[in-house]
Structure 1
Amino acid sequence: MHGLLRRVKTLRRCIVEVFRLIPPSRRKAVDSLRREKTEIYLQSFFLNISGCLDNLAWMWVHELGLKKQNGKPLSRSEVGFRKTQTVLRASVSPSFALYLDSLESWATAGENYRDALAHRIPLYIPPFSVTIGNVDEHRRLESASRIAQFRAEHVLSADFDKQRGKLEFFQAMMMHSFSEGARPMLFHAQMIADVKTIEQLTIRLLADLRIQQEEQR
């Protein structure tokens, strides 16, 4: 439990700082330093969301004394709330199992981001966005600007950049890797949804745990 409570404090601080650094209503471009600071809090937040799930799963295992059928302790990979973690899932009540089923898509999306962050590509806030209808024109202007720079036509290059900038707008979203087909997330809403999910999961887990412990007496 103390591990979970420490993480909750960290989650709270991450939310406060992200909303302070980049308010949800922000549409103007954000400088690189501000984006980098925000990315640090986002990375901490999503690793600790994953950690909260681990803490809750281990709490369940220890409180009920769950073990394998042969009496040996569960391995780390067997401790969790996913459908593939059958020993733990078999120990929960039918109503709690249904609730966990409803979290599968949320857990899969979070796992995708957590694995990328921990093992491959850290989370990233794109400096700008462009509507689909303006993508080709944006690319044309970018190419024209580079050619002008190569020719030392700096005034012309700056003009192309100015035109390109008019097609850009800031959107508070995050990614890990476009090449891996990651789904962009609007991070303010995602942070609130994630922390509320952890709160609801904790409430339901404690209620189910209390019932099972009373039945064992």
Structure 2
Amino acid sequence: MALDDAYGIREVEFAIHAAQTERLFVRGKNTETDRYFDNQAKENHIYCVNNALNQLLGDAAVLIELGGFKQAAEHFMRFGVLRRLRMMIAAFRNFQSIIMPDRTVTLTMEQSDEVCRDLNAIYVNILGLLDNYAGAIVHQVGGAKTQAAKPLAMSLFKPAFAVDPALADVAAALAPFATWETDVKKRRNPAAHRMPLYVPPAGYDPKAADALRRLDQLISTALREQDFVEMRNLQRERERIGVFISIFVHAPDEEMNDIYPTIPQDLGQMVKIGRISQDFLRAHLAPLESSDGA
């Protein structure tokens, strides 16, 4: 049975929801109607990814409690997979409580700090989770040479993993995700090693930019004069200028990414890889000895 059919997780693909909305209306006649149905597709996608993440976490917890893991493999599952999944689920839940697809109101500085924290937690942990699965698979099923490889070589998409005959089946099942893994590194690697991901609180037209500069000068003056009440009032006024633009970036001169559907789409691909990995591990659990020694 195909992975999508087995777990009902075709819905982690945004294209499924986009196609459903396309059947409901004729695009192009009204901008507001287009935006409404686009946002509906994005919201449905988010909810399905939430469900898929929770199901993956629950299945991982049950898998560990079945027993039959070798010590090193269980270590990667219990202290790697479970912890990272919980962190990502919590981060994505909080992120969407602040930013949903229909948001146009600018972010406060506190909200901007929260969503930036959550966004980086998601992306830093995505590839970490895949490495935890690789560690569990290698130490449960892999050959001695693969198990002895350097930790950085122990990756689902590295040659050392793919050439192990004991891992040939799972490597073949994961091969279609190699392009996505390369792509997601563009968002993850700078966040881990260079510039953290950032959600701009607002976008500004020329008139708003002029008002922003004026307020920044007044805020600086209030700070120098230690008039903190006035400074906070000016900061609140500043937060009302502009309009929220649903993007995230590493730096202003680098590629911009749409928040939706990019984030849930990346999480959805991660879930699919997790399902393949956990199925493979379940099929290779060591048989438990019966209590009577039989």
Q: TM-score, normalised by structure 2?
A: 0.54
Q: Is the 8 A contact 1:93 1:208 kept in 2?
A: no
Give the letter for the 1:173 counterpart.
Answer: I
Q: Which amino acid aligns with 1:89?
A: A
Matched residue, 1:201: 273
CA apart distance, 1:21: 1.7
Aligned partners of 1:37, 1:116: CA distance in 2, in Å? 19
Q: Is 1:121 the counterpart of 2:198 in the alignment?
A: no
- Rounded to whole Å, the distance in 2 between the matches of 1:145 and 1:29 is 13
Q: Structure 2 vs 1, CA of residues 141 and 73 (structure 1 numbering), >3 Å: closer, same or farther?
A: same
Q: What is the percentage of aligned positions where both structures have the same residue?
A: 22
The answer to whether the Cα contact below 8 Å between 1:121 and 1:176 also exists between their aligned partners in 2 is yes
Aligned-residue offset at 1:213:
7.1
Q: How does 1:1-217 map to 2 (within 5 A)?
A: 1-2=77-78, 3-68=80-145, 73-82=148-157, 85-91=158-164, 92-93=167-168, 96-129=170-203, 138=206, 142=209, 169-179=243-253, 181=254, 183-209=255-281
* Unmatched segments (≥5 aa) in structure 1: 151-164
Deviation at 1:198, TM superposition (A): 2.3
Structure 2: gaps (5+ residues): 1-76, 218-240, 287-294
Residues 19, 188 of structure 1: 8 Å contact kept: no
Structure 1 counterpart of 2:273, one-letter code:
L
Q: Distance in 1 between matches of 2:285 and 2:168?
A: 12
CA contact (8 A) 1:66 1:88 kept: no
Q: Is the 8 A contact 2:174 2:276 kept in 1?
A: no
Cα gap change, 1:201 to 1:146, in 2 (>3 Å)? closer
Q: TM-score, normalised by structure 1?
A: 0.70
Paired AA for residue 84 in structure 2: R
CA deviation string 1:164-206 (max 9, x = no partner): x6xx532222111244x4x322334333223322221122123
In structure 2, distance between residues paired with 1:78 and 1:198 = 19
Residue-pair matches, total: 184
CA distance in 2, matches of 1:174, 1:34: 14
Once residues 92 and 209 of structure 2 are traced to their aligned partners in structure 1, the CA distance between those partners, rounded to angstroms, is: 35
Taking the aligned partners of 1:142 and 1:203, their CA distance within structure 2 comes to 47
In structure 2, relative to structure 1, the CA distance for the partners of 1:145 and 1:23 (3 Å cut) is: closer
Task: Provide the C-alpha distance between the structure 2 equivalents of 1:26 and 1:144, rounded to a whole number of angstroms.
Answer: 22
Q: 1:146 & 1:195 partners in 2: Cα distance? A: 38
